[in-house]
Amino acid sequence: FPGLADVSVSQDIPVEGEITVPVGSHSPDEDYSTLDEPVKDTIMRDLKAVGKKFVHVMYPRKSSTLLRDWDLWGPLVLCVSLALMLQGGSADSRDDGGPQFAEVFVIIWFGAVVITLNSKLLGGTISFFQSLCVLGYCVLPLTMAMLVCRLVLLAGAGTISFIIRLLVVLAMFGWSTLASTAFLADSQPPNRKALVVYPIFLFYFVISWMILTFTPQ
């Protein structure tokens, strides 16, 4: 073993010593270590980032903030709240809401992954998580539509409430699709925008349909 020729093991190596290996765990304080700041600062920073992205979704301008600092907190919060609000919507009282929660989760994430793969295969320049981030944040209008639908359904379930819900869901569906298109279509070659927009349209259509056909107990 030529590589071990210069290894010498002497008998008086002390057995005691540091068990923790001091490699990188004591980073200097002037480094960008956020380990020592108060928890409130960390949470507020992340909350502000998420809030800024929500504002970008509601007023879609062509800024690249949403794309550059992607995070998945917002999509997770939106997905969970939408799934929670869609529970209890079947007439079977023994349904404990299990499949519905998992179904919404799986549809949103699986659908977002498929759309991202599709846009990458069509020659898009956006990265995987950036696309997931945008698609997840653009579920915000539909979550608001779900909230409105639940409130409207508290008042009654007649034809008028159906028309109101239809209009609200249609409007929010259009807003979601436009918002996500504004961010994602720029990363595609110009003549292929329709090919990328169609799966996004289908994706938000399925979610809108789930919201519209929700009838509470």
Partner 1 sequence: QGGGSAVIDMENMDDTSGSSFEDMGEMHQRMKEEEEEEAEGETGAGEEEDGEFLGMKGLRGQLGRQVADQMWQVGKRQASRAFSLYANIDILRPYFDVEPVQVRARLLESMIPVKMINFPQKIAGELYGPLMLVFTLVAILLHGMKTSDTVIREGTLMGTAIGTCFGYWLGVSSFMYFLAYLCNAQITMVQMLSLLGYGLFGHCITLFVTYNIHFHSLFYIFWLVVGGLSTLRMVAVLISRTVGHTQRLILCGTLAALHMLFLLYLHFAYHKVVEGILDAFEGPNMPPFQRVARDIPVVSNAVLNTTAKAIALTL
What is the contact surface with partner 1 in residues (CB under 8 A)? Answer: 1, 3-4, 6-11, 13-15, 17-19, 21, 90-92, 94-95, 98-100, 102-103, 106-107, 114, 117-118, 120-123, 157-159, 162, 191-192, 194-195, 198-199, 202, 205-206, 209-210, 212-213, 215
Residue 8 or 25: the one with the smaller Cβ distance to partner 1 is: 8
Contacts 24+ apart (CB under 8 A), 60-68: 60/178, 60/179, 60/182, 60/183, 61/182, 62/182, 62/186, 66/133, 66/134, 66/137, 66/183, 67/126, 67/130, 67/133, 67/134, 67/183
Q: How far is the CB of 23 from partner 1 (least distance, A)?
A: 9
Q: How far is the CB of 159 from partner 1 (least distance, A)?
A: 6
- Closest of 200, 87, 207, 195 to residue 142, by C-alpha: 207
Residue 14 or 28: the one with the smaller Cβ distance to partner 1 is: 14
Q: How far is the CB of 11 from partner 1 (least distance, A)?
A: 6
Residue 172 or 197: the one with the smaller Cβ distance to partner 1 is: 197
Q: How far is the CB of 202 from partner 1 (least distance, A)?
A: 6
Residue 54 or 110: the one with the smaller Cβ distance to partner 1 is: 110
Residue 6 or 30: the one with the smaller Cβ distance to partner 1 is: 6
